Structures are given as structure tokens and as C-alpha cells.
Structure 1
Amino acid sequence: MGIKQFIGYSLLVLASLVVSAQGSDFEFYKLSLIWPSSACYPLSNCTTPLPTFFTIHGLWPTFANDTAVPAYGPNNRCNANPVGPDAAVAKLTPIKDRLNERWPNLRAGVENSVFWRHEWQKHGICSDYYKDPLSYFNDTLNLATSTTFDPFKGDGQTVEVTSDGMGNG
């Protein structure tokens, strides 16, 4: 099996070295990327044509022990009064074209905004950006599309490949 096939059946999760600027309880952000052909099996469950590049799954505030910060409902111990998920998605209009390309919902019949809402509700409200969803999504886009960052080399960053095709977020 070649490297493309191996990666095609894996989710590449990259731990960024972006450290919380505001001293929150989490230790680092984890940038999660998806290889579309591995996440879309069977293909009939996904939109077509599939992107031929890694797409964004999310940017996840993560504790030092590599577990995601919990954010749902009563478990949201992160930040008081974060921007709500519907309001967060409404603020994304200036970058919507880039989000549609790089951060798509690969599941057929489900709008991209549903995925963005989920990622904000699960991870964004626990980030340093809890009052600024536009910056959270835009900075994630910039990190994921950086030309100086090579996900196959890791550039000194932690690279973890998991075989479940979905990761933990």
C-alpha cells in the first residue's frame, strides 16, 4: 500500500504549537485535517466531487494530556457568555467562500454551516476566540492553508495519524 492510500484511510491530526494567549486551562490547539476520500466511505454518503486535498475538520483547544476540552451544554466550563453557535455562523459571511472550499461538510445533503456551527459549539466556545468567531475560523483557515507548513513533515510539530478516519472531534 502506497503512502497516498495509507493516508487516504487515515485522519491526519496535527498539534499546532499555538499556545493559549489568555492563559485558559487548555495547553495547545490541535489542527485536525481530513483526507476526504477516507472520510467518505461509502462515497454515496458524501457530496461530489470530493476535494483532492486535506480539508479542515477543526481547531480544537486541547489539554496537556491530549484530550479535547469539553464544551457541550452543562460541561462548558470554558468561557462565560461565548457567542452562540447561530450568531457565530452569521458572522462568517466575509470568509464564507474560503470556508466552503477548505472547511466543507463532506456529508451529502448537509449544509456546510451545520458543520461550522457544530465545530464552534464543540470547540470554538472554549478557545481564546469565544467572543470572536470570525477570527477563530479565519485563523484556522490561515493555519491550514499556510504555504510554510507541510503536514507530511510536521515541521517540528507533533504529527499523529489515527486509523479511525474521524479523529476525536
Structure 2
Amino acid sequence: MDCFHWEMKKYNSLFIFSSCNWTCMHLTLQWPGSFCIGINNKTICKIPQTVQYWTIHGLWPIRTGHCCDCWPIYHSHLEEIEPELAKLWPSFIKGKHFFYFWKDEWIKHGTCAGCVETMGSPFLYFQAAVKLRKLFDIDNILESSGIKTSCEVSYKLDDIRGVLTPVLGQIYDLQCVTDSKGREAWIQLKIHLFRNQTLGCPKQEQEQKFDLLAWSNSTGHPCPKNSTIFYVPINYENPHEPCN
């Protein structure tokens, strides 16, 4: 075997080890009503009129290493499920075509998930995320339990968890952003899954490192236990100040 092929084999082996050495992943859902609150540049955020429900932010394997940017994704890979992706996994940044959002998520996270057979291609990875989003119908869960969007009514963290825990188990995370009036607005829900896409994967040391990196690039934070939380409505005209 010549030097070039030996080096490529060694590189592929290192990638497979580092990208597949994970146990848990997050299905991260985001609430569009709060999304623009956390964006510093208020001119770039827009919520499409068709969006009225929780959307997908990503399906993220919890790992400490870097995923591979050498596994390409093309628009044609996703054409079959593009209508569902556009509905359930839209971008809220003006001028950014949905595909480029999906491409970023594939490069950052999907290539690490790709070592699992059920997510072993761009199409399978995004299909898995769509299926999980449909399985965990957060909108109906909240609506049927009386938790509705409002700028006047807020909820205790325990009240929200009391609704979600029977469906998601004990292990999940609620994340908030603070608006200009000091309100804690619920923005994300991280559902903890094993790599076989079942619930209940426990938090691990590598997840703590992953979250530290994620929060260093985010304006959000864990929803506080000592103050109430607002589940704000979607304001299409003024998305960065939904309650003002």
C-alpha cells in the first residue's frame, strides 16, 4: 500500500472513531416566538407567516470531537422530503435559503450521526429528525394541558415540566432568553435520546463539555427555577419584541 492510501486509511479510521464515539444525542426544538429575541442583529430575523408551531433546530450527537466536513450534501439529497423540512425545519434568518441552514446542520452534526445505520446518509439523517419531531408533538401536548402562548400569563418551570415529563421522561432541558423587559421567554427544548432514537439517555461528562461550547456561542441560558417563564406568542410584524 502506497503512502497516500495508507494516510487516507488512517484518516478515515480516526474520523470513524472520533465521530462515532458518542452515546446520546439531542433533538433540539425551538419556539419561533422567542427566537428573534436572542438575535443581536434585529434586522436579519424573520418568521415566515406559515410557521405557527415548534420547529427543529437540530439533531445533535453529543460528542467532544469535530465532525467531518468532507462528507458533502447536495440539494438533490433532500428533494424528496424538502416540503416537510421547509415546514418543520425552516430558517429564520433573512436571505438564507433553507438548504444552507440544513447544510450547516449536516456538516456540524449530521456527519457524526451518519455512522449510525438509521442516519447513514443526509436523507436518512433529516428523515429521522422529521419523524422524531412528529413523534414529539409538543404543540398539542402543551395546548391540551392548558399551556398557551401569552404576554400576560407566565408559568412556573415545574408546571411546564409537569406536562412534559409524562411524555419525555425525566431527562430533558428547557432553555430561555431574556427580553428587553426582563421577561424569561422559553425558546428551546432539548430532548435527550440514545443513538437508537429512544428516550432517556443520561447526561454524561462529554455532554457537559458540549453544552459549555454551545452556550458560549448562544444568548440563551437554562430556564431559571426561581422566576416564572413566558411562552410568548409569535409576532410576525415585530418578531424581536413579541410582547412590546
- TM-score, L = length of structure 2: 0.47
Q: Percent identity?
A: 25
**Residue in 2 that maps onto 1:32:** 28
Asked whether the 8 Å contact 1:46–1:107 carries over to 2, the reply is: yes
Going by fraction, where is helix more abundant, 1 or 2?
2
Asked whether the 8 Å contact 1:55–1:104 carries over to 2, the reply is: yes
- Sort the Cα spacing of 1:69 and 1:117 in 2 relative to 1 into closer, same or farther, 3 A: same
Number of aligned positions between the proteins: 133
Report the Cα offset of residue 163 of structure 1: 2.2
- Kindly provide the amino acid, as one letter, of the partner of residue 91 in structure 2: N
Report the Cα offset of residue 69 of structure 1: 5.0
**Secondary structure of residue in 2 paired with 1:30:** strand
Q: Does 1:158 align with 2:147?
A: no
* RMSD (Å), alpha carbons: 3.0
Q: Deviations over 1:130-153 (max 9, x none)?
A: 741111101110001116775851
Larger radius of gyration: 2
Report the Cα offset of residue 40 of structure 1: 1.9
- Aligned pairs for 1:64-83 within 5 A: 69-71=65-67, 73=69, 83=71
**Residue in 2 that maps onto 1:13:** none
**Secondary structure of residue in 1 paired with 2:29:** strand
- Aligned pairs for 1:33-112 within 5 A: 33-41=29-37, 42=42, 45-49=45-49, 51-63=51-63, 69-71=65-67, 73=69, 83-85=71-73, 87=74, 89-112=75-98
Q: Does 1:132 align with 2:145?
A: no
- TM-score, L = length of structure 1: 0.66
Report the Cα offset of residue 24 of structure 1: 2.7
Distance (Å, rounded) in 2 between the aligned partners of 1:93 and 1:61? 24
Distance (Å, rounded) in 1 between the aligned partners of 2:137 and 2:23? 23
Report the Cα offset of residue 95 of structure 1: 0.2
- Sort the Cα spacing of 1:35 and 1:116 in 2 relative to 1 into closer, same or farther, 3 A: same
- Aligned pairs for 1:8-23 within 5 A: none
- Sort the Cα spacing of 1:69 and 1:163 in 2 relative to 1 into closer, same or farther, 3 A: farther
- Kindly provide the amino acid, as one letter, of the partner of residue 94 in structure 2: A
**Secondary structure of residue in 2 paired with 1:45:** coil
